[in-house]
Chain A
């Protein structure tokens, strides 16, 4: 640390004890925008599959490995980008991920076969999978403690928001210009946004605090955030130094926690399976029934729109009712809404109002239950365990370390 005469600033305590300034809110909005593009590009293949089927003369099952490779890319990209975020900075990692999924998406507009699509889908997935944890981490690290949960939730809810916007755009672009135009738009927008981020987005102050060479930059950043910090101040990040966050996976299965861990894993697995069954296959399934591409895209958009509302609604509900009732009834009602869709007319000549309404309700409940699980996981585990393993799915930090 510096000489005793210099001011020593604990960056974490300074940010946690301060107001959430307009500048910090702007940075949260930038991270949220990155996640909107992320949500769009995660789901873009689902919108395009019905058009690709006709053009390439392939079957729906031929796309199964392509969809799976996209998710495999996300699974690889998330920890890799987390490592890069820790090593080179959240800013660089986030911009790199946004640029990667933008490039991958725009390059897909030029492919002519499943092999090329699969490779690019994997690369796009790596970028998309890495962007979310870094965007959430940046949001969390800029926000004061009492606003952190809201800020992170606002960022995460942008995944279905991106899917919803994607559906609305796809419903207009696909019938008129085709799937290549959709990919061109879906790739160009995040690429341009990556340039904006490069110009505007600063590095996380908590990350800068751990690097003395960056302290002058950190002092300027904190001044811009409204904190009067001397230019020659030295910094520390006490919260970031804790070594207590390395706990064995076995801690999750110790007596008293094993049952809750098993229950949470089962719930996470099946709820995510339900959501990704829709994200990956809904438009393809609907067009197979004879529904046109625009309506099929709108179906996925409405599912995502329901998801955005559901996340917000369940946040309020659980504040007043706790987690058990809203989550249990929510998951049962979600199953019931899927069964009710059996009754919705689904042929090309039918009126699709009930189908769209059913998808809205199903999206609302599935996404509400799924996002609520993060809060439940954070509650189930004691701090000593939560700080490591549970964070792997409960907070952005863990996504980086998973």
Chain B
């Protein structure tokens, strides 16, 4: 909903602010994802390790 309201103002300002807004939002998403500690590992690698275990 914020993107609806903010989006109108951004596109009134032109294409350049619009592309910057898209980029900025994804940089913030990157920051949030980097903040997450508990990412999951490769499942294929885990299966291979399990298969090799005695």
Residue B49 CB within 8 A of the other chain: no
Distance, CA A331 to CA B29, complexed state (A): 7
Chain B nearest CB, measured from A358 CB (Å): 9
B22 within 8 A of A: yes
A335 adjacent to B27 (CB under 8 Å):
yes
Residue A175, interface by CB 8 Å: no
Give the distance to chain B from A154, nearest Cβ to Cβ, in Å. 19
A64: contacting residue among B5, B44, B45, CB under 8 A: B5
Selected contact of A270 from candidates B8, B14, B32, CB within 8 Å: B32
**Can you identify 24 A-B contacts, CB atoms within 8 angstroms?**
A60-B12, A64-B5, A64-B9, A65-B4, A260-B35, A262-B32, A264-B32, A266-B29, A266-B35, A267-B36, A268-B32, A274-B21, A284-B11, A289-B15, A319-B43, A322-B39, A322-B42, A331-B26, A331-B27, A335-B26, A339-B23, A362-B22, A375-B40, A379-B38
Chain B residues with CB below 8 A from A336, complex form: 23
- Shortest Cβ-Cβ A-B pairs, 9 listed: A266-B32, A267-B32, A263-B35, A64-B8, A67-B4, A338-B23, A274-B25, A338-B22, A324-B39
Indicate if B54 sits at the interface (CB-CB under 8 A).
Answer: no
Complex-state Cα separation, A362 to B23, whole angstroms = 10
Q: Which of A59, A281, A369 contacts B10 (CB 8 A)?
A: A281
A60 touches B26 (CB 8 A): no
User: How many A residues touch the partner, as a band?
Assistant: 35 or more
B23 to A60, Cβ gap below 8 A? no
Task: Please tell me if the beta carbons of A263 and B33 are within 8 angstroms of each other in the complex.
Answer: yes
| B52 in the interface (beta carbon within 8 A) | no
The one of B7, B34, B38 in contact with A277, judged by C-beta atoms closer than 8 angstroms, is B7
Q: How far is the CA of A268 from the CA of B35 in the complex (A)?
A: 13
A366 located at the interface, meaning its Cβ lies under 8 Å from any Cβ of chain B in the complex: yes
Q: Using A342-B16, A346-B15, A376-B40 as known contacts, list a sample of 13 further A-B pairs with CB atoms less than 8 Å apart, ordered by residue number in A.
A: A61-B9, A68-B5, A263-B32, A264-B32, A270-B26, A276-B7, A277-B3, A324-B39, A338-B19, A338-B26, A339-B20, A379-B39, A379-B40
* Nearest residue, chain A, Cβ from B8: A64
Bound form: Cα–Cα A53–B41 in Å: 49
Q: How far is the CA of A289 from the CA of B11 in the complex (A)?
A: 10
A68 near B4 with CB under 8 A, answer yes
The reply to whether the CB of A321 lies closer than 8 angstroms to some CB of chain B is: yes
Q: CA–CA, A268 to B1, complex, Å? A: 14
Contact of A71 among B1, B23, B24 (CB under 8 A): B1
